[in-house]
């Protein structure tokens, strides 16, 4: 029998416990598939006393994850503590310096330090793999780095934060406000300790930045992701969008064109009958488009003990099998700095305005839009009881600067009250 692959697991929370369970329950299957046993030498977490619902008495305990990473009997550090810096970063760096491979589920750490870490790992002849960091149980990193390696990737799209999708779909199905469903999600334990990571789009933005690097051969550029969370999405917009045949999703889009790399994680309208439009609850979906394959759609659980541990184990088994793919699908030092696109690709937009109920008001709005070079596809004025009439407009493809100009000009008219709401309509 060949030597076992010996793991050191740092972090025994939701994901760490899931990994321990798979190693214990599927020992035979893992050995059969990789040709060598996968064992755990030692583990680390904050509290040694906590009952974790799995038997860890057969493993050595380390209080310090850095000491765990450096152990002689650890070949591979499995980093499942989380956090952009702190112990996760220290243990990962220590493992690489000590000549170990690393598997992590930590998108925050890689979105900020992925380039430097991948370079250090490759210089040391080691690998860092991160399937579990993006869209939980969906094997999207593998799909991009391996399955679609023969394609020029034309677009990456994804609904990659289950909590946001839960909130948006629940608002629609129950007719509840954002604040009400946010509170519900909080009670159910769906939100991160810092909820802005979820609802502010940061967590999903981290994931998009990692996928962009693989798709386009660029250094991870989280700072280049145009981020907008779901906090401003109202039940009114969800309902109006539905009447027009759309759903509102926190959608990530990455695309490389002659104008540069465009990365967005923003609330968008998508057709209700598209695969993304039909995505309900906490499920994730990633859509990958390549010049040869056309489009593939991956759908599955984006979080949770089993799905995330499943993705961690895919990386562990690759390493056990001797499959050593570069962190971002090509040598880290060959990744080029992302050239950020100055403006987003033109798209149709949904506009909602409150209009004073007076003669000629609609004509004034149409004139402002026309002056800004925006043409109207559809316009609908809602019946109303008060002074202001809600007006919905779907534009034809509009350049982002033209939209901006219109959004500034409309409130300056004497017919538009408040600030217009504008949401991009993504062609999916
Ligand atoms: N949960 C998911 O569904 C999911 C999905 C995809 C990716 N991820 C990623 O997976 C990682 C782990 O997430 P999780 O949900 O499993 O987190 P978690 O349940 O909060 O567990 C974190 C673990 O890390 C340990 N830890 C924290 N600080 C430590 C330190 N200074 N030294 C040693 N151990 C420390 C904690 O110890 P104690 O238990 O003793 O407190 C705990 O066992 C994160 O990067 C997360 O973003 C999670």
Mean pLDDT, 10 residues at a time, over the chain (428 residues)?
A: 93 98 98 98 97 97 98 98 97 98 98 98 98 97 98 98 97 97 94 94 98 98 98 95 96 95 98 96 97 98 96 98 97 97 94 91 95 96 75 96 96 93 96
Nearest-CA residue for atom 20 of ligand 1:
13
pLDDT for residue 194: 93
Asked whether 14 lines ligand 1 (CB < 6 A), one says yes
pLDDT for residue 386: 67
Residues spanned by CATH 3.30.360.10 within the chain? 142-301
pLDDT for residue 14: 96
Question: Ligand 1 centroid to 201 CA: how many Å?
Answer: 20
Specify the CATH architecture of the domain 142-301.
Answer: 2-Layer Sandwich (3.30)
- State the catalytic residues: 207
Residues spanned by CATH 3.30.70.260 within the chain? 349-425
Question: Ligand 1 centroid to 12 CA: how many Å?
Answer: 7
pLDDT for residue 405: 97
Atom of ligand 1 nearest to the CA of 106: 45
Question: Ligand 1 centroid to 410 CA: how many Å?
Answer: 47
Tell me how far apart the alpha carbons of residues 311 and 296 are, in angstroms, rounded to a whole number.
Answer: 19
Identify whether the C-beta of residue 270 lies closer than 8 Å to the C-beta of residue 246: yes
Identify whether the C-beta of residue 230 lies closer than 8 Å to the C-beta of residue 252: no
* Mutate which of 18, 62, 81, 166 for ligand 1 pocket (most atoms within 8 A of beta carbon): 81
Q: Which of 347, 273, 370 is nearest to 379 (CA)?
A: 370
Identify whether the C-beta of residue 108 lies closer than 8 Å to the C-beta of residue 79: no
Question: Ligand 1 centroid to 6 CA: how many Å?
Answer: 20
Tell me how far apart the alpha carbons of residues 249 and 277 are, in angstroms, rounded to a whole number.
Answer: 8
Write the CATH number of the domain with boundaries 349-425.
Answer: 3.30.70.260
Q: With the CA atoms of 44, 46, 49 and 52 taken in that order, what torsion angle do they form, in degrees rounded to the nearest 10?
A: -70
Asked whether 13 lines ligand 1 (CB < 6 A), one says yes
Atom of ligand 1 nearest to the CA of 304: 3
Tokens 């300056």, residue? 412
Residues spanned by CATH 3.40.50.720 within the chain? 5-104
Dihedral over Cα of 124, 92, 97, 333: its sign = positive
CB neighbourhood size of 84 (10 A): 15
Name which CATH class applies to 5-104.
Answer: alpha beta
């Amino acid at each position: 029998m060949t030597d076992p692959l010996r793991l050191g697991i740092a972090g025994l929370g939701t994901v760490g416990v899931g990994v321990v369970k798979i190693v214990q329950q599927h020992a035979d299957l893992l050995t059969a598939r990789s040709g060598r046993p996968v064992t755990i030498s030692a583990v680390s977490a904050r509290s040694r006393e906590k009952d974790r619902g799995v038997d860890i008495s057969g493993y050595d305990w380390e209080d310090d994850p850095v000491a765990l990473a450096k152990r002689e009997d650890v070949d591979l550090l499995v980093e499942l503590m989380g956090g952009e810096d702190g112990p996760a970063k220290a243990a990962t760096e220590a493992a690489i310096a000590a000549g170990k491979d690393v598997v992590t589920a930590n998108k925050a750490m890689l979105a900020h330090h992925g380039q430097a870490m991948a370079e250090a790992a490759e210089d040391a002849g080691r690998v860092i793999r991160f399937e579990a960091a993006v869209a939980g149980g969906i094997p999207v990193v593998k799909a991009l780095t391996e399955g679609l390696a023969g394609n020029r990737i034309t677009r990456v799209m994804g609904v990659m934060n289950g909590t946001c999708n839960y909130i948006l779909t629940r608002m629609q199905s129950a007719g509840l406000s954002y604040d009400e469903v946010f509170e519900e999600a909080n009670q159910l334990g769906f939100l991160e300790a810092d909820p802005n990571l979820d609802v502010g789009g940061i967590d999903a933005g981290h994931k998009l930045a990692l996928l962009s690097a693989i798709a386009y051969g660029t250094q991870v550029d989280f700072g280049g992701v145009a981020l907008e969370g779901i906090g401003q999405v109202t039940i009114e917009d969800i309902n109006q969008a539905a009447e027009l045949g759309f759903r509102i999703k926190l959608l990530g889009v990455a695309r490389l064109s002659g104008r540069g790399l465009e990365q967005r994680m923003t609330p968008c309208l998508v057709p209700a009958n598209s695969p993304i439009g039909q995505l309900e609850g906490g499920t994730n979906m990633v859509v990958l488009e390549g010049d040869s394959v056309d489009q593939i759609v991956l759908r599955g659980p984006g979080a949770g003990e089993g799905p995330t541990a499943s993705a961690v184990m895919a990386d562990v088994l690759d390493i056990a099998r001797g499959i050593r793919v570069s962190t971002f699908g090509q040598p880290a030092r060959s990744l080029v700095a992302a050239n950020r696109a100055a403006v987003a690709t033109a798209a149709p937009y949904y506009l909602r305005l409150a209009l004073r109920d007076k003669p000629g008001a609609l004509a004034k709005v149409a004139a402002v839009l026309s002056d800004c070079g925006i043409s109207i596809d559809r316009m609908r004025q809602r019946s109303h009881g008060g002074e202001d009439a809600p007006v919905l407009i779907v534009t034809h493809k509009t350049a982002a600067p033209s939209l901006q100009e219109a959004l500034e000009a409309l409130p300056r008219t004497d017919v538009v009250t408040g600030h217009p709401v504008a949401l991009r309509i993504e062609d999916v």
